[in-house]
Amino acid sequence: MKALALLVVVITGVMLIYAGQDLPPFGDPNTDMYQHRMTQRFIECSDTESGVPNIVTALLANYRGYDTLGETTVIFTAGMAVMLLLRRRET
């Protein structure tokens, strides 16, 4: 059983390393994701469209509001589940 678990971990690690070879260099401003015109639009217009001077806050609160709400709901639900599992029961 331990050999199977080790095999699964090794295969997963090899797959992650193989997939990581296709990632762009970290922080390279010339990658495709930074050259997209939506990125430039967010940088130029987020202050005027949202009224929030911080670009990250404007993106999370205004442009991706429903996505952020979903992520917050998942984190809250996980936290409540952990609290319910770890609570002490009076006997």
Q: Report the greatest alpha carbon distance in the chain.
A: 63
What's the total number of domains in the chain?
1
Tell whether 56 is covered by a domain.
yes
Concatenated DSSP letters for 28-89?
A: -TTSHHHHSHHHHHHHHHHHHHH--S-HHHHIIIIITHHHHHHHHHHHHHHHHHHHHHHPPP
Integer Cα distance of 9 and 16 in angstroms: 11
How sure is the predictor about 91, in pLDDT bands with cuts at 50, 70 and 90? low
Tell whether 27 is covered by a domain.
no
Assess whether pLDDT exceeds 80 at residue 76. Answer: yes
Residue 18: the pLDDT is: 96
pLDDT average, residue stretch 59-75: 86
Tell whether 48 is covered by a domain.
yes
Integer Cα distance of 91 and 70 in angstroms: 37
Residue 15: the pLDDT is: 97
Tell whether 78 is covered by a domain.
yes
Other CB atoms within a 10 A radius of the CB of residue 60 amount to 15
Tell whether 59 is covered by a domain.
yes
Tell whether 23 is covered by a domain.
no
Which residues constitute the domain of residue 89? Answer: 33-91
- pLDDT tens digits for 22-66? 888 887 878 877 777 777 888 888 888 888 888 888 888 887 888
Tell whether 9 is covered by a domain.
no
- pLDDT tens digits for 2-23? 999 999 999 999 999 999 998 8
Q: What is the pTM of this model?
A: 0.44
